[in-house]
Amino acid sequence: MTDRSETRMPVLFVGHGSPMNLIEDNRWSRGFAGLRDEVPRPKAILAVSAHWFVDGTYLTDNAAPPTIHDFSGFPRELYELDYPAPGQPDLANRVRKLLGAELSGDWGLDHGTWSILRWMYRDADIPVVQLSINRQLGVRRHYELGRSLADLRDEGILIMGSGNIVHNLRDAFRQMRAGSRQTPDWAQRFDGAVADMLRRRDTTALLTAWPDTDDGRLAHPTADHWLPLVYAYAATDDQDRVRFATEGFDLGSLSMRTIVFGG
């Protein structure tokens, strides 16, 4: 009898950080590229990005989703990059039924998704569907939606959440102005506490870490970069081992921890 854990696609949560990782050869971009060897080649990818944080649950149904340059003030080179991965409307429609979501042709692949995939799959030949994060829902409801995605793993679908376990841009920019990149104690504590919750599979602690703890609120002034982790975690179970493919902080207050569940 085959162990299900040997046939299911792993799940990723990737700390994506700055758009500059698209063009810089650094430990973060090398970490993105290395994820290609951490998972089997997927038939398609369902991405949950921090940067599609809207009033509703939507799925991209574009046959050719546009590359969205959802950032400003960066070098021109970044705006000239493209990631022409195909969409997969059939997958979008299936997930729509699973979640009670809506289809949307108004979005594409934002940098939370394509800044990672451009390193993982340079040929842009794997179909990608992106799922929005509904900011009207509570953390528990996001977890329930993520649970509904778990069976897709048995069909070769890679579920990938993209955010950051700590994401406080105000503190990061403050440090940049001061010429410092020191990671605050609260950021270290929260990142370490979340890693421990994941190792122990403490669902109750994870679902109350934000916004119910002081460190959680400092780590995430808003929920957008936190909730992709909830989706990724929810699509896994206690048979999935947890590995940290990348650890560390960028710009002081951005945790770049990347997690592989299963595999």
| Number of structural domains found in the chain | 1
Sign of CA dihedral 9, 231, 226, 163: positive
Token pair of 110 as six digits:
């934002």
Strands (E), 127-251: 128-134, 157-163, 242-246, 249-250
Beta strand pairing call for 249-250 and 242-246: unpaired
Residues 209 and 190 sit within 8 Å (Cβ to Cβ):
yes
- What confidence category does residue 181 fall into, taking pLDDT thresholds of 50, 70 and 90? confident
Q: What is the pLDDT of residues 103-133, one digit of tens each?
A: 999 999 999 999 999 999 999 999 999 999 9
> Is there a cis peptide before residue 211, judged by omega within 30 degrees of 0?
yes
pLDDT at position 3, please? 52
- Per the model's pLDDT, the better-predicted residue between 1 and 225 turns out to be 225
> Are the C-beta atoms of residues 95 and 131 closer than 8 Å to each other?
yes
Q: Check if the beta carbon of residue 12 is closer than 8 Å to that of residue 157.
A: no
CATH number at residue 233: 3.40.830.10
Question: What confidence category does residue 6 fall into, taking pLDDT thresholds of 50, 70 and 90?
Answer: low
pLDDT the model gives residue 22: 95
Q: pLDDT tens across 49-61, in order? A: 999 999 999 999 9
157-163 and 11-15 strand pairing: parallel
pTM, rounded to two decimals: 0.95
Confidence category of residue 102, pLDDT binned at 50, 70, 90: very high
Please list, in sequence order, all residues whose beta carbon lies within 8 angstroms of the beta carbon of residue 150, skipping any fewer than 6 positions away: 234, 235, 236, 237
pLDDT digits (tens, 9 = 90+) for 57-96: 999 999 999 999 999 899 999 999 999 999 999 999 999 9
Domain ranges, residue 202:
4-261
Q: What is the mean pLDDT of the chain?
A: 95
**Lowest-pLDDT range, 17-31, 40-54, 169-183?**
169-183
Q: What is the pLDDT of residue 1?
A: 40
- What percent of the chain has pLDDT above 90? 90
* pLDDT at 4 (0 to 100): 57
